[in-house]
Chains A and B, each alone.
Chain A
Amino acid sequence: GAVVSQHPSWVICKSGTSVKIECRSLDFQATTMFWYRQFPKQSLMLMATSNEGSKATYEQGVEKDKFLINHASLTLSTLTVTSAHPEDSSFYICSARGVGLAGGIFGPGTRLTVL
């Protein structure tokens, strides 16, 4: 079946540093990738939608200069959290949508802890 991977699975960083998270569709081409954020005991909140080769569309309240998204190919999207702060600590999950895939396929998530 279709699989989406994320790397790293967890990361701890100091405040002010930047962190890059990769999302890959392993056996299908993802026409669209979605980035979600999930705080403890909260639902998944959509941050942005990215289509290969074009600029990402950000949800209201999400700073595009802080959360840089690059969808360089049909199998790879990256999310870079720039100048991370403790309030950015969260579980970041990507979802990839390809032709014929219902509901989108989620990655395993990346837990970011900013000290």
Chain B
Amino acid sequence: QKEVEQDPGPLSVPEGAIVSLNCTYSNSAFQYFMWYRQYSRKGPELLMYTYSSGNKEDGRFTAQVDKSSKYISLFIRDSQPSDSATYLCAMSAFPGGGADGLTFGKGTHLIIQP
């Protein structure tokens, strides 16, 4: 079993829809959870950073962490064509990746149809 599982998609939704992206993980030591957005041929851009269980909202983005289920989600409200990208979840037992870097999901390719 891989440490982090993420459906690669593609996930195609109409503009304005609510998007739900998810990851599951197996390592109970993970405490820090991140979502990155990566456009084609670009480096990942940090979208959300959360610690332990709970919700965090930033504009149209909401990150949820359920450590008991080892399940994290990213919700995008009022989705826009410019949100079309690959979304990677990442996690670590230490803040900022600690000494060992981050463990990434495979990434979900999201397509927002105009």
Which residues of A are at the interface with B, using a C-beta cutoff of 8 A?
Answer: 4, 6, 32, 34, 36, 41-46, 49, 57, 91, 93, 95, 97, 101-109, 111
Contact of B99 among A32, A36, A101 (CB under 8 A): A32
Contact of B49 among A34, A103, A108, A111 (CB under 8 A): A103
Q: How many of chain B's residues have a CB under 8 angstroms from any CB in A?
A: 27
Task: Report whether B96 and A101 are in contact in the complex, using a CB–CB cutoff of 8 Å.
Answer: yes
Q: How far is the CB of A47 from chain B (nearest CB, A)?
A: 9
Please indicate the chain A residues that have their CB under 8 angstroms from the CB of B97 in the complex.
32, 34, 95, 97, 103-104
Contact of B46 among A32, A36, A103 (CB under 8 A): A103
The prevalent SS among residues of A at the interface is strand
Task: Report whether A46 and B102 are in contact in the complex, using a CB–CB cutoff of 8 Å.
Answer: yes
Task: Report whether A44 and B45 are in contact in the complex, using a CB–CB cutoff of 8 Å.
Answer: no
Which residues of B are at the interface with A, using a C-beta cutoff of 8 A?
Answer: 4, 6, 8, 32, 34, 36, 41-46, 49, 88, 90, 95-97, 99-107
Task: Report whether A111 and B46 are in contact in the complex, using a CB–CB cutoff of 8 Å.
Answer: no
A101 to B97 Cα, complex, angstroms: 10
